[in-house]
Chains A and B, each alone.
Chain A
Amino acid sequence: NAGVMQNPRHLVRRRGQEARLRCSPMKGHSHVYWYRQLPEEGLKFMVYLQKENIIDESGMPKERFSAEFPKEGPSILRIQQVVRGDSAAYFCASSPPKIQGKTEAFFGQGTRLTVV
């Protein structure tokens, strides 16, 4: 059973370009979370999605950032017109529906975005 797969592992973009980060959840998991980790900081929640639905996007910047989790295929975090401040590690986590004490969220290895 493969873990949460994120690609690419490393991504370099010039200022103004678009960045697309992909996350394939674990088999059987229908919930996906995206977190951002700035250098020397903890992870910050960005968005929570279920298949075809954005459930909570309270941590998403208002502009340039969007996320989707289509019926088929991976979840995508898209950053348009990247700026240097977007340089960070972006982690995806997946889980089945939460059952008290029975499940956990598993994290992928992250995509490290560098904006030059």
Chain B
Amino acid sequence: QQQVKQSPQSLIVQKGGISIINCAYENTAFDYFPWYQQFPGKGPALLIAIRPDVSEKKEGRFTISFNKSAKQFSLHIMDSQPGDSATYFCAASSPTSGTYKYIFGTGTRLKVLA
């Protein structure tokens, strides 16, 4: 119930290509779905986030697509660049206690080839 399943585990994309990372959840109480980007030796940094009242959110080259009925959401990175090479985590939280207690996916290691 509390899991967030993320795939693929690793991804290699050519420069300029589209990177797609998928996540699925079970707990319908989740109401906030952020994506975090983590470079080696650094802490996770918020990339983009979505709430279930919208089906898509776009910020620059990054887009979240959200399918509430399927309980799935995905991150699309358009025109992928070598600087995007990092590990990406999806996460989810519920409104309980109004906290940032996140359930994280297991991560996707993205490598963008120059």
User: Would A43 and B100 be within 8 Å (CB), given that A104-B34, A107-B45, A109-B42 are in contact?
Assistant: no
Instruction: Flag if A91 contacts B43 (CB, 8 Å).
Output: yes
User: Nearest B residue to A58 by beta-carbon distance?
Assistant: B101
From residue B24, how far is it (CB to closest CB) to chain A in Å? 14
B5-60: which have CB < 8 Å to A? 6, 34, 36, 41-46, 49, 51
Q: Could you say which of A11-19, A62-70, A77-85, A95-103 contacts chain B?
A: A95-103
Number of B residues with CB within 8 Å of any CB on chain A: 23
From residue A115, how far is it (CB to closest CB) to chain B in Å? 19
Instruction: Flag if A48 contacts B46 (CB, 8 Å).
Output: no
Decide if A76 is an interface residue (CB 8 Å cutoff): no
From residue A76, how far is it (CB to closest CB) to chain B in Å? 18
Instruction: Flag if B41 contacts A109 (CB, 8 Å).
Output: yes
CB within 8 Å of B: which residues of A?
A: 4, 6, 31, 33, 35, 40-45, 48, 55-56, 91, 93, 95, 97-98, 101, 104-110
